[in-house]
Amino acid sequence: MINKKPTMMEVKNAISNLISEFAALAKYVSTLDQTLGSYIKFKKDEEGFKKFLEKEFKKQKKSEDKNVVQPNKKGKKTIKVVSSK
């Protein structure tokens, strides 16, 4: 089967669909952000949550630092990922 080029209208529709999906995702993320912020204020534990996040980010940073770049048998560099679990 021969692949034909998409028409300008097909490209326009595809881009329009992507824009709509992106807008929906942005709205969803915004709603989640507002909900989480409201919950933290409701629990009156903003400082505790900040400390928790700082600890989690430090753990994540340490985990990322353990990832090692090593050459494989063919001489190409690969990343060895060490699980933090």
Mean pLDDT, range 76-80, rounded to an integer: 59
For the chain, the domain total comes to 1
Contact, 68 vs 80, CB < 8 A?
yes
The pLDDT of residue 63 is 81
Task: Confirm whether 57 is domain-assigned.
Answer: yes
C-alpha dist (Å) from residue 58 to 21, 22, 37, 65, 67: 33, 31, 22, 10, 15
Task: Confirm whether 3 is domain-assigned.
Answer: no
Task: Confirm whether 66 is domain-assigned.
Answer: yes
Q: Give the tens place of pLDDT for each residue, 35-77.
A: 999 999 999 988 999 999 999 999 888 887 776 555 566 666 5
Task: Confirm whether 51 is domain-assigned.
Answer: yes
Task: Confirm whether 1 is domain-assigned.
Answer: no
Q: Give the tens place of pLDDT for each residue, 20-30.
A: 999 999 999 99
Whether residue 81 is predicted with pLDDT greater than 60 in this model: the reply is no
The pLDDT of residue 85 is 47
Which structural domain, as residue segments, surrounds residue 18? 8-80
Task: Confirm whether 85 is domain-assigned.
Answer: no
Contact, 46 vs 40, CB < 8 A?
yes
